Amino acid sequence: MATNAVGPQQVRARSEMVEATAPEMFQFTKEGQIISGVLISIEPTKITDKKTGDEKAAIEYMLANEKGERITFLGMNDLNKKIVPGHIGHSMDIRYERNDFSFVKPGQSPAKLFKVLVAKEKEPGF
């Protein structure tokens, strides 16, 4: 079986390589914490309860900050109501405002409340 011979191929100079890294996982642990960046994805995920081993559905958000670093964080009730797919491509500031103890039952943690500011216009390239 013959193959078609093609003339000499020009080899393109190899581009500079940089390491691809996983995004940093951020957790809101203190009131007043702020994260900022462009929302680049909203994905369903599963998380495992460390105590029981049970899995449950969650939402994971990903931002790209001004340095181009990616940051992920899990949704909480208040965030899941405020951040929507239509915000993808928009800059946002998310501030952990306070805990809401008004609906806490024994054995539960208080709900975390957030202030979410979203740019009116999408960032270029989205």
* Position 7 pLDDT exceeds 70: no
Residue 16 vs residue 107, higher pLDDT:
16
Mean pLDDT, rounded, for 86-96: 98
Instruction: Please state, rounded to an integer, the average pLDDT across all residues of the chain.
Output: 91
30 pLDDT band (50/70/90 cuts)?
very high
Q: Which domains does the chain have, with CATH numbers?
A: 25-121 (2.40.50)
* Position 108 pLDDT exceeds 90: no
- The pLDDT value recorded for residue 12 is 79
DSSP β-bridge partners for residue 71: 24, 63
Q: Which residue has the tokens 């390239």?
A: 125
Sign of CA dihedral 86, 33, 98, 120: negative
- The pLDDT value recorded for residue 87 is 98
Contact of 68 with 38, CB cutoff 8 Å: no
